[in-house]
């Protein structure tokens, strides 16, 4: 995404200069909101906007119809400028029933547009949503512009010719609504029509009904007399680099990055995992990708998963495992075995709300500590964090590179937000990716399992099945010289030092820390890691437009840290560290560089809003005695 530094005012839809918009589709689990959102994303991408999306599933598998806890939503932020979050507040809310309205209306900006299916505002549904009076009538929606249409009725009329029953007919409500929204933003509905025809190829009547509903919704926008101020909006196209694009979620990007990493390393991968929210998607995606050099193993639990992965690595295939929260905790002993035996291993941690079972479907960054310090004994290992959905692809490749090059476990931190959020991805040319083929040792002469590369300090990787390299590994301390068990005190010190030096040494094999936005010195650096990227980025951008001397630094390499980070931070008067935890990364920065960094902590299961970070920037500025 290109960074367009133009003045961004506060805006509503009735302003002339609308450069970006947040739309949120919300309905019952059965209302097809995810499909609607995806289809709208498709036409919006094609239109040429930059965008970012986030699906908001209910925690329940399938809640009763009309229940508030069964509301499923999809949010898209799109516009002419670089878009890096799905948006703080919603400009247009589509609410298919009272439950969707009540659970989402608080995120709508004052003056925002809410489109409701008044046909669904029955007494029963109002009751389920715990409304005491009908919000369409009691004036509670006065701060907003309301477009209430009996969509149910409209749809049934539109699909009548196709002989669908009442129930199947109502299933087309989402397409009718999509048609209306497509009209509202002047998008092309052809791609949607094509996908519908493809999707229901075997049921042409259903396809036709859906298309008819889509068209009817669109026509409604064109012809019906809409309330004052509601009209067709033209959001300018974004200036995005030329190329072929696709939409990518973080989970898919990560999965594909692992596959790419395996290809670049020229090795097979075994992905061993046990289902857990929100990490399972990775397993699902990869189980579907066995045409590549990857196999998947659904283990009996997380311990078996990490152990199978370590076993695979011992056998010469890169073991990868993946989990979240409680599952990560269970893998600790297995990870330590990989660290002690110096075998490669990639652990993907899709963080969720904690502690304990916590909030499985919500996002958080509270596993920084366990990633860095969650092993018994001194067992350092690299920890990387992905910043955006697309970044997951690159970071996954990097995790494979470090694991195989340094014969070490590597933890990759993603989170529930990143995994499910999506954004357009400029598809790279695979041939331009830098490869890093693994060299298995095969020379029997002079072989011992303790041989290591002088430069990287990596232990040799000797594959079972190779004649003459028979050897034993194990988790008991091993002799630096021979690789045999050693209880010798000096050897233990030497091996401990070695393990530390090996990981520390990686800092010279990673890029120097860059500043994402702003100068390399100044008043304030906002330092983030992981999925806070988008919100920090927008906040810093806005602050800079206000004339503040703020820079944005996003750290990918959490351990070891980039070698220049300390100096970089020293160049700022103040350092602000927003984190979705109680302040874990900031402790590392303080310990490492002895700087008076300020934390900004949010632990609500929700990503930061741009405004929250902007407010913190203002506050820091005030504390510095400056007027923001």
Ligand X SMILES: Cc1ncc(C[n+]2csc(CCOP(=O)(O)OP(=O)(O)O)c2C)c(N)n1
Question: Where in 283-302 is the site for ligand X (CB under 6 A)?
Answer: 302
614: number of CA atoms within 13 Å, CB side? 16
Q: Which does 559 bind (CB under 5 to 8 A by kind): a second copy, other proteins, ligand X, none?
A: none
Bridge partner residues of 510 (DSSP): none
DSSP-derived secondary structure letter, 483: -
**What part of residues 246-275 is at the interface with ligand X (CB under 6 A)?**
274-275
Q: Binding segment for ligand X among 25-33, 102-110, 322-330, 596-604 (CB under 6 A)?
A: 322-330
Q: Which does 272 bind (CB under 5 to 8 A by kind): other proteins, ligand SF4, a second copy, none?
A: other proteins
Q: How far is the CB of 172 from ligand X (least distance, A)?
A: 32
Sign of CA dihedral 583, 589, 592, 597: negative
Q: Which does 256 bind (CB under 5 to 8 A by kind): other proteins, ligand X, a second copy, none?
A: other proteins
Bridge partner residues of 422 (DSSP): 53, 249
Detail the DSSP E strand segments found in 549-619: 550-555, 557-559, 572-579, 598-601
Q: For residue 138, report the phi and psi dihedrals to the nearest 5 degrees.
A: -90, 10
Q: How many whole angstroms separate alpha carbon 180 and alpha carbon 92?
A: 12
| Cβ atoms of 279 and 363 closer than 8 Å | no
Q: Which does 473 bind (CB under 5 to 8 A by kind): ligand SF4, ligand X, other proteins, none?
A: other proteins
Q: How far is the CB of 48 from ligand SF4 (least distance, A)?
A: 41
Instruction: State the Cα angle at 81 between 78 and 86, rounded to 5°.
Output: 35
Q: Which does 276 bind (CB under 5 to 8 A by kind): ligand X, a second copy, ligand SF4, none?
A: ligand X
Token digits for 496?
A: 């401990």
List Cβ neighbours of 597 (8 Å cut-off, separation of 6 or more): 527, 569, 575, 576, 577, 586, 589, 590
Q: How far is the CB of 509 from a second copy (least distance, A)?
A: 21
| Cβ atoms of 609 and 559 closer than 8 Å | no
Q: How far is the CB of 139 from other proteins (least distance, A)?
A: 29
Quick check: helix, strand or coil at residue 118?
Answer: helix
Q: Which does 232 bind (CB under 5 to 8 A by kind): ligand X, a second copy, ligand SF4, none?
A: none
Q: Which does 429 bind (CB under 5 to 8 A by kind): other proteins, a second copy, ligand X, none?
A: other proteins
Start-to-end Cα distance in the chain: 28
Q: How far is the CB of 441 from other proteins (least distance, A)?
A: 13
Our CB check for other proteins shows the closer of 30 and 111 to be 30
Our CB check for ligand X shows the closer of 528 and 605 to be 605
Q: Which does 288 bind (CB under 5 to 8 A by kind): other proteins, a second copy, ligand SF4, none?
A: other proteins
Which string of x and - marks every residue 353-392 that binds ligand X (by CB under 6 A)? Answer: ----x-----------------------------------
Q: Which does 418 bind (CB under 5 to 8 A by kind): ligand SF4, other proteins, a second copy, none?
A: none
Our CB check for other proteins shows the closer of 137 and 488 to be 488
The residue whose two tokens read 């919603």 is 90
| Cβ atoms of 118 and 149 closer than 8 Å | yes
Q: How far is the CB of 571 from other proteins (least distance, A)?
A: 36
Q: How far is the CB of 560 from ligand X (least distance, A)?
A: 29
Q: How far is the CB of 61 from ligand SF4 (least distance, A)?
A: 4
| Cβ atoms of 461 and 407 closer than 8 Å | yes
C-beta neighbour count of 474 within 10 angstroms? 12
Q: How far is the CB of 330 from ligand X (least distance, A)?
A: 6
List Cβ neighbours of 282 (8 Å cut-off, separation of 6 or more): 251, 254, 255, 271, 273, 322, 348, 350, 419
Q: How far is the CB of 103 from a second copy (least distance, A)?
A: 11
Residues that bind ligand SF4 (CB under 6 A): 61-62
List Cβ neighbours of 426 (8 Å cut-off, separation of 6 or more): 240, 241, 243, 244, 245
The only residue of 326, 563, 571, 628 in contact with ligand X, by rule CB under 6 A = 326
Our CB check for ligand X shows the closer of 334 and 483 to be 334
Q: Which does 499 bind (CB under 5 to 8 A by kind): a second copy, ligand X, other proteins, none?
A: a second copy
Q: How far is the CB of 204 from a second copy (least distance, A)?
A: 41
Q: How many whole angstroms separate alpha carbon 54 and alpha carbon 52?
A: 7
Q: How far is the CB of 363 from other proteins (least distance, A)?
A: 17
Our CB check for ligand SF4 shows the closer of 62 and 167 to be 62
List Cβ neighbours of 98 (8 Å cut-off, separation of 6 or more): 66, 120, 121, 125, 126, 128, 129, 131, 135
Asked whether position 327 contacts ligand X by CB under 6 A, the answer is yes
Please count the residues of the chain.
628
- Identify which of 38, 31, 70 has the alpha carbon closest to the alpha carbon of residue 54: 38
Quick check: helix, strand or coil at residue 261?
Answer: helix
Token digits for 247?
A: 């939409």
Residues that bind a second copy (CB under 8 A): 59, 69, 325-326, 328-330, 332-333, 336-337, 339-341, 353-362, 364, 366-367, 369-370, 372-380, 474-477, 487, 489-490, 492-493, 496-497, 499-500, 581-582, 584, 587-588, 590-592, 594-596, 602-606
Q: How far is the CB of 284 from other proteins (least distance, A)?
A: 4
Our CB check for ligand SF4 shows the closer of 29 and 247 to be 29
Token digits for 408?
A: 């070490």
Q: Which does 339 bind (CB under 5 to 8 A by kind): a second copy, other proteins, ligand SF4, none?
A: a second copy
Quick check: helix, strand or coil at residue 456?
Answer: coil
The only residue of 92, 113, 276, 616 in contact with ligand X, by rule CB under 6 A = 276
Our CB check for ligand SF4 shows the closer of 29 and 177 to be 29
Token digits for 291?
A: 């045409």
Token digits for 386?
A: 């992905």
Residues that bind ligand X (CB under 6 A): 274-276, 302, 326-327, 330, 357
């Amino acid at each position: 995404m290109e960074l367009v530094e133009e003045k961004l005012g506060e805006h509503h839809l009735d302003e002339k200069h609308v450069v970006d918009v947040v739309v949120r589709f919300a309905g019952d689990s059965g209302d097809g909101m995810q499909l609607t959102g995806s289809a709208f994303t498709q036409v919006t991408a094609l239109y040429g906007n930059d965008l970012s999306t986030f699906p908001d599933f209910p925690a329940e598998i399938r809640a009763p119809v009309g229940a508030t806890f069964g509301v499923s939503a999809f949010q898209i932020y799109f516009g002419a400028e670089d878009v890096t979050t799905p948006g703080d507040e919603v400009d247009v809310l589509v609410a298919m029933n009272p439950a969707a309205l009540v659970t989402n209306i608080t995120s709508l900006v004052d003056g925002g547009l809410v489109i409701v299916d008044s046909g669904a505002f029955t007494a029963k549904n109002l009751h389920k949503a715990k409304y005491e009076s009908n919000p369409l009538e009691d004036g509670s929606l006065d701060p907003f512009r309301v477009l209430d249409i009996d969509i149910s009725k409209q749809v049934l009329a539109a699909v009548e010719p196709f002989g669908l029953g009442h129930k199947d007919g109502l299933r087309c409500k989402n397409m009718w609504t999509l048609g209306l929204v497509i009209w509202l933003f002047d998008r092309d509905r052809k791609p949607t029509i094509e996908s519908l025809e493809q999707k229901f190829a075997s049921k042409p009547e259903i396809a036709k009904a859906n298309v008819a509903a889509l068209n009817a919704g669109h026509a409604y926008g064109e012809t019906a007399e809409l309330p004052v101020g509601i009209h067709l909006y033209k959001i300018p196209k974004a200036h995005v680099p030329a190329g072929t694009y696709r939409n990518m979620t973080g989970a898919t990007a990560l999965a594909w990055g692992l596959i790419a990493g395996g290809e670049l390393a020229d090795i097979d991968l075994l992905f061993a995992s046990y289902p857990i929210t929100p990490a399972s998607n990775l397993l699902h995606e990869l189980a579907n990708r066995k045409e590549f050099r990857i196999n998947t193993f659904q283990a009996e639990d997380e311990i078996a998963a990490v152990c199978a992965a370590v076993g695979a690595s011992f056998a010469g295939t890169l073991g990868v495992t993946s989990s979240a929260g409680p599952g990560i905790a269970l893998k600790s002993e297995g990870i330590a075995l990989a660290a002690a035996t110096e075998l490669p291993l990639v652990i993907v941690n899709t963080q969720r709300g904690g502690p304990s079972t916590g909030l499985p479907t919500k996002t958080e960054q509270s596993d920084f500590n366990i990633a860095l310090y969650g092993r018994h004994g001194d067992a350092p290992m690299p920890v990387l964090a992905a910043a955006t959905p697309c970044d997951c692809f690159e970071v996954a490749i990097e995790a494979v590179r470090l694991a195989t090059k340094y014969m070490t476990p590597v933890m990759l931190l993603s989170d529930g937000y990143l995994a499910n959020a999506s954004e357009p991805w400029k598809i790279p040319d695979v041939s331009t990716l830098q490869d890093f083929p693994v060299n298995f040792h095969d020379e029997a002469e002079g072989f011992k399992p303790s041989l290591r590369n002088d430069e990287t300090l990596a232990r040799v990787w000797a594959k079972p099945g190779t004649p003459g390299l028979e050897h034993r590994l194990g988790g008991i301390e091993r002799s630096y010289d021979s690789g045999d068990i050693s209880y010798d005190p000096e050897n233990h010190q030497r091996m401990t030092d070695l393990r530390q030096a090996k990981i520390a040494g990686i800092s010279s094999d990673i890029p120097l820390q860059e500043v994402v936005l702003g100068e390399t010195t100044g008043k304030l650096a906002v330092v983030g890691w992981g999925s806070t990227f988008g919100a920090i980025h927008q906040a810093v951008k806005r602050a800079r437009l206000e004339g503040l001397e703020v820079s944005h630094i996003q750290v990918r390499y959490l351990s070891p840290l980039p070698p220049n980070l300390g100096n970089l931070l020293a160049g700022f008067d103040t350092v602000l560290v927003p984190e979705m935890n109680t302040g874990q990364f900031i402790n590392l920065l303080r310990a490492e560089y002895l700087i008076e960094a300020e934390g900004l902590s949010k632990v609500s299961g929700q990503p930061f809003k741009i405004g929250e970070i902007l407010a913190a920037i203002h506050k820091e500025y005030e504390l510095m005695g400056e007027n923001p």
